[in-house]
């Protein structure tokens, strides 16, 4: 499990950090894999995948434009959009995860079980984007967000802050960690919130919860602030709804949970 947000920034509980326009990228660290006490996972985690639509309005010409992921004869994986104009726009998936973009858990030579998880207007600009799984772990899916910009395929990319270059936005998790995201207004503008929770030693009943708040700039994401809270759970107590949000996807029209 990658620590995808800002666990190294030293933020305090309930603190909101304003983030400047430039920062160096941090390498992800591995979270512990303890033998945790027996307790229920967050109630929001569903028992099975729920794939979404595979057609959308990607270029403004209207709905019904299909998006597919397929494997070529040479073994490489590709994403393809067929637009109403008749144009078929294709790109090799691994090409989006090279250079600094490869530092977030998906080496360019490893594309594992890729598929379209869902289609929705994630940027709230009137055009749809495709959420595409790039890799999959034991309990976490690792998708990226793709859209059409000026007739070409582009991947949503973090443009500033400690996760500069990030193009992977994990979904789901286990009882010891969670990842999710939400489409929401951030500081009065179209936004995207990336969530994470980690269950920490020595007792594994204390969760660090993080929410990184981004604004959309085209298909780029500008980091505005980071929130952090600490939750201390009892063995039989309910899960706070804010903590559960780290295992959830909240975007209109998108149902993209994967166990």
What pTM, to 2 d.p., does this model score? 0.79
Confidence of residue 175 (pLDDT cuts 50, 70, 90): confident
Percentage of residues in the chain with pLDDT exceeding 90? Answer: 53
Distance CA(192)–CA(143), nearest Å, equals 15
Residue 211 lies in a domain: yes
Write out pLDDT tens, residues 111-150: 888 999 999 999 999 999 999 999 888 888 999 999 999 9
Mean pLDDT, the chain, integer: 78
Looking at residue 49, its pLDDT comes to: 33
Written as six digits, the tokens of 21 are: 């326009």
Residue 257 lies in a domain: no
Residue 243 lies in a domain: yes
The domain total for the chain is: 1
Write out pLDDT tens, residues 11-65: 333 333 333 333 222 222 222 222 222 333 443 332 233 344 599 999 999 999 9
User: Taking a C-beta distance cutoff of 8 angstroms, is the pair 224, 19 a contact?
Assistant: yes
In which domain, by residue range, is 227 found? 15-24+43-250
Least confident of 79-88, 96-105, 151-160, 206-215: 96-105
Residue 151 lies in a domain: yes
Distance CA(161)–CA(226), nearest Å, equals 10
Confidence of residue 238 (pLDDT cuts 50, 70, 90): confident
Residue 255 lies in a domain: no
- C-alpha distances (whole Å) from 142 to each of 22, 33, 151, 157, 168 are 25, 18, 25, 14, 6
Looking at residue 158, its pLDDT comes to: 95
Residue 38 lies in a domain: no
User: Taking a C-beta distance cutoff of 8 angstroms, is the pair 181, 191 a contact?
Assistant: no
Residue 259 lies in a domain: no
Written as six digits, the tokens of 35 are: 């033998």
Residue 7 lies in a domain: no
Mean pLDDT computed over 227-250: 87
Distance CA(94)–CA(75), nearest Å, equals 11
């Amino acid at each position: 499990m990658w620590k995808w947000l800002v666990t190294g920034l030293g933020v305090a509980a309930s603190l909101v950090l304003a983030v400047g326009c430039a920062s160096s990228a941090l390498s992800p660290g591995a979270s512990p894999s303890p033998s945790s006490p027996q307790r229920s996972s967050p109630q929001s985690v569903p028992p099975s995948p729920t794939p979404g639509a595979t057609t959308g309005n990607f270029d403004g010409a209207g709905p019904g434009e299909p998006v597919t992921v397929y494997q070529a004869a040479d073994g490489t994986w590709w994403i393809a959009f067929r637009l109403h104009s008749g144009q078929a726009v294709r790109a090799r998936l691994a090409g989006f995860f090279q250079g600094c973009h490869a530092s977030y858990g998906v080496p360019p030579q490893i594309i594992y079980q890729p598929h379209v998880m869902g289609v929705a207007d994630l940027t709230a600009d009137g055009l749809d984007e495709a959420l595409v799984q790039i890799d999959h772990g034991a309990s976490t899916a690792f998708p990226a967000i793709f859209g059409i910009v000026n007739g070409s395929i582009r991947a949503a990319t973090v443009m500033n802050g400690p996760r500069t270059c990030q193009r992977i936005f994990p979904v789901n998790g286990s009882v010891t960690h969670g990842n999710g995201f939400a489409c929401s207004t951030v500081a009065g503008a179209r936004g995207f919130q990336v969530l994470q929770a980690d269950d920490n030693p020595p007792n594994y009943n204390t969760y660090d919860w993080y929410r990184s708040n981004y604004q959309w700039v085209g298909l780029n994401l500008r980091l505005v602030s980071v929130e952090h809270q600490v939750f201390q759970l009892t063995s039989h107590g309910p899960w706070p709804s804010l903590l559960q949000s780290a295992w959830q996807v909240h975007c209109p029209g998108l149902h993209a949970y994967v166990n």
